[in-house]
Structure 1
Amino acid sequence: MSIEIEIDMPNQNVEIGNRTRMNGTHVGEIEEHQTEELDLNVAVAKVKIDVLSRIWRRNQSLLYKSKLGCFSQSILHVVASHDNVADVLGILDHDSELAEVLDSRSWSPFHVAAVKGHMNVLEKLLPHSLCVARVNTDHGDTILHLCVKHDSLNALKFIIKNIKDSEFANRKDAEGNTILHVAVMLGYTECVRHLLNKKIVDLSSRNANGNTALDIAHNNNKRVDGGVPEIEKLLKDAGALRTKHLKQGQWLIEKRDALMVVASLIATMAFQAAVSPPGGVWQENSETHRAGEAVMAFDYPDSYPYFLRSNTIGFVGSLSTILLLMTGLPFRKKIMMWILVVIMWGTISAMAVTYAIAITVVTPIKCRGPLVKTIVVGVAMWGCVMTLLLIGHSLVLLCKRFHPHRNFFRDLF
C-alpha cells in the first residue's frame, strides 16, 4: 500500500501568472539578460554603436563583460575606436577603471583612440590613462610607435605634450627602433620635423642593426631615385650623425680624456721639478747664496738655463692643453685634436730633455760615461718612435684620400 505525500519544496518551479520563478530568479529576466548580451555582441560585430549605446545604458552591469570582439576588447575600446565621446564619458563616470583594461594586443582604449586620431576621446581618456599609456604592446611598440606607424601626427603631438618624459619618447620597439627611426623609415617628413623641434629624441640612438636615423635616411636616398632628401637635411641641421661618425666622435672623446690625464700629470711633474730641482736648494744664507736657491744654479751654471727652459716648455704646454680642453672648443673636428696631440708631443719631448739634464746632474762624475751612452740610445729610440708615428699618420692620410672606405690599420695589423 503506497501513500502519496505532497511536499512544498522551496526550489520547486511555481507558476505565478504568466511568469515562472526558478530558485528565486525570474526566467524572463535571465532570458532578457542573455538577449541583451547577444545583442551587445552583435552590435559590436556589426559596429552598430547606437545599438551598443542603448544596451549598456539600459543595463550597466554589461560594462563588466569586458571581453568582446575579435581582439577581446572592452566596450570602452569599441566606443573609443568610433569617436563616441558621449559614451566614453558615460562609461568613465560609471567605472573609470575600464580605461586601464587591455585587449588581447595589450592595447588600452587610449591606444585605440590614439591610432584612430580621435582627439576628443584622447582628451577625456588622458586623466585615467597616464600609467597604462606607457605599457608596451605585445609587439613591443609604445603608443608613440603606434601613432607614427598609423600616421596619427596630432595624437603624437598631444601625447608628447602631456607626457613629458624623454626616456619614454626614446623607448625602442622589438627591432630597436625609436619613434624617430620609424618616422624616417616611413618618410614622414612632418613627423620628423616635429620630433626634432621638440628636441626630445636621441639623435645618436642606434637600432638593432646599428643604424642611426641619419643612416636610415641616407640609405633611403640611395634606394629610391630622388629619395627623401628633406628628411636627411633636417637631421643634419639638427646635428644628427651617422654611425661611422659616432664612432669617430667616441674616439675623439676618448683621446680628449687621455690628453687631459697626461697633461695634468706632466704639469704636476714640471711644477715639482721647478720647486725641487736636482741637487736640492740651499738651506741657509751665505755670502754667495740665499736659503731656498737652487744648488744646481751654482754648481752647473751652463746646464741650469737649459733645465729651466725645457721644464718651462713642458709646464706651459701641459697647462695650455688643459685650458684648451676645458674651453669647449669644437674638438669633434679631427684637426683640433691633432693640434692638441702635436702640442703634447712637444711637451713630452721637453720633459724628456728635462729628465736627461736632471739625471746628469745627480749622477757622479765617474759614472757619467755610461750615462751619456744611455742618453744617446734613448734619444735615438725616441727619434725612431717619432719618425714611425709621423710616417704612420702620413700613410693613413694618403690611404684615406685614395681609398676612403678602407680600414688601413686593420689591413696593416
Structure 2
Amino acid sequence: MALFMLLPVCYSYFHPSSTSKSPLLLHSPPQTMTLQEAIATDDVNELYSLIELNEKLLDDISKGPFPNTPLHDAAGKGKTKVAMEIAILKPSFARKLNRGGYSPMHLALQNKHYGTVMALMTLNPKLIRVRGRGGITPLHFVAREKRDNEEENMKLLELLAEFLSACKSSIEDLTNQCETAVHLAVKRGNIEVFKVLFGWIKRTYLTEILDWKDEDGNTVLHIAALEQQPEIIKLLIGHVTEIAMNNQGMTALKIFQENPCGDQDLAKMLHRLGHVASWFQPLPLSQFLRMELSFFQKSTLWFGLRDESARDIILIMATLIATTTYQATLSPPGGYWQDNSSNLLPNSTEVSANSSGIAIEKPHRAGNIIMTGSDLYTFTVLNSAVFLASIGTIWVTAIPLLPHTFMVYFSVFILCVAYFTSIAVEFPKSNLVMRNFLAVSYVSLVIVVLWLPFFVWMKHLRVLHRIDATGRHLKV
C-alpha cells in the first residue's frame, strides 16, 4: 500500500507539469512563488528568481506546436513589465499561436490591454503582421472593432494610427477571406476607422489597395454599396475603379442602383459616373497581357529598371551637357558689347571710317552678342540642339517614374524657358526676325516635348484603370 502511495509523488517529480491543471505552475520549493503568481503580481525580480532556480523554466512549459507560453498569459492579463521581459528573453514567443489561434498581442487586444499592445509593438513592429485565427492580424482586429464607449473608440483609433505608422506593410495583409483592413472596417460600418485608414492610404500613395478584391470579388466600393454607406462611397469616388466587377459580374454602380440608400446627391453623382463608365468596358488582365506593349511600357523597359547603373550614368552625362550648353549661352565666344552704338544705319553691317579716319563700329546695344552672320547662327543652332538633346534625355529617362517626377519636368521646363529667353535678349537688334523665329520655334518644341510624355502616360493610365484584376499585391 505504501508503494502505491509513493507512485504519484515520484511521477510528479519526474513529470512536474502533471501535478497542476495550469502549464504555468513552477516546480520549485514551497517557499518560492509560482510563475503564475509572478505574472499576476507583475514582478520582474521574482521572474528572474524563478529562472535562476530553473533555467529551462520558460522552455519546459512552452513546448508543443501551439503552446500557451508565459508571454501569452502575461499579455492576456495586461502585465506589461513581465510580458516585456519574457519577450526580450524569448522573442519567438511573441509570434507563436496558442491552441485558440492567438498570439500574445491578440490576447492583449481582446482583453483591452492597449498599453501592453503598444509596448510589444515598440519592441517589434512586425508583430502587427502576425496572422492569428482566421488570418486576422492585430491590424485587422483593431480595424473591425467598434466599441460602445467613445473613449475606448478613441483609443482604438489611436492604436490603429500607431500600427499603420509603425509597420507600413501591414496594410497589405489579408484574412482567410482575402479581406484587407479596409474591407473589414467598411463591413462593420466603422466610419471613423475607415477615415483613418483612407487618410493614411492617400498620404502614402497606396490608393491601389482600395481596388483589391476579397474572395467574392468585392472591392471596398462594392461593399460600401452593399452595406448602403453613402458617406464612404462619396469618399471613395475618384480614388477607385468604378467599373470593377465582382464574382457575380456586378459593378458597384449597379449594386447601388439595385439597393438605393435614399441619398439623392449621391444618386446624381453615381448617375453621372455611370454615363462616363459606360464608355469604358472592363479589361480582363489576361487580355491586357496579350496586348502589344505601349510606347510608355517600352520606354519603361528601356529607360527604367533594366539597368539602373546605366540609367544613372545617362542622367549624369545629360545633366553635365545641359549645364555646359547653358553656360555657353551665357558666355558665348567673343562675348558681348559693353556699350551702345548707333553710328550707322540699321541695315549696315560693315565698319566704315568717318572724315577724320576714325573707324566707326556697326550699330549695337550693350548686352548683345558680338558675333554676327553665319557664325552666330551656327553657334546658336548647334548649342541649342545639344541643349535640347540633353533635356530630352532627362525627360525620357524620367517617364517611367511619372507622376513622381513631375517636379523634374516642371523644373526643366523653367530652365528651357530661361535658356531661350537669354537667346532672345542676346541676339542683335539687327537680327530681330531671326531672333523671334528661333525663340518661337524652340519654345514650341519644348512645350511639345514636355506635353508628349504626359500624354503618353495619361493614355497608359486610362488603360490601367480599365483592368479588372484581383489585386492583392503591393508595389512598395
- Shorter-chain TM-score: which interval? 0.3 to 0.5
Which structure has the larger Rg over C-alpha atoms?
1
Task: Give the TM-score of the pair, scaled to structure 2.
Answer: 0.39
Relative to the length of structure 1, the TM-score reads: 0.45
| Higher RCO (CA < 8 A, seq sep 6+) | 2
